[in-house]
Structure 1
Amino acid sequence: MDDRLPDPAEEIRPDETAEALVGGSDGAPVGGDKTTEDQLDADNAVEEDQLKSLDPDDTPA
């Protein structure tokens, strides 16, 4: 009887990764489109900072 837990490093990686399933990194927005991005409005400074951190076009601090 083998009670050994599987080693995560030994796990087989699937050929269909999440990136491959959504079309790769071709610049297409994931989870919405340009219209969705334009509809996001901040009500206060905290939300404004959060939206900046989620913006893929904004450079990191």
Structure 2
Amino acid sequence: MDREREDENRHAPTPDASDPDSPTGGDESTEERLDADNPVEEDTLKALDPDDSPA
């Protein structure tokens, strides 16, 4: 039974990363949980944020 679930999850649709409306991290729940621990991570998250305008 677990094997069947693994097969289903393996073939689950994934968001299109090239879509400008795609949430950071792959889905909205992941995007909401992303927190930066230091300034470098803050810069990285800003760079990955599709809603943030480029500099």
Shorter-chain TM-score bucket reads 0.5 to 0.7
Q: Which amino acid aligns with 1:34?
A: E
Scaled by the length of structure 2, the TM-score of the pair is 0.55
Please state whether the residue corresponding to 1:59 is helix, strand or coil: coil
Q: CA RMSD in A?
A: 2.6
Q: Which has the higher contact order (CA 8 A, sep 6+)?
A: 2
1:32 matched residue in structure 2: 26
Shift, 1:56, TM fit: 0.3
**Higher percent of residues as helix:** 2
1:55 aligns with 49
Instruction: Indicate the percent of aligned positions where both proteins have the same amino acid.
Output: 62
Greater Rg by CA: 1
Write out the 4+ residue segments of structure 1 that deviate beyond 6 Å after TM superposition: none
Unaligned 5+ residue runs, structure 1?
1-21
Gaps of 5+ in 2: 1-15
TM-score, normalising length: structure 1: 0.50
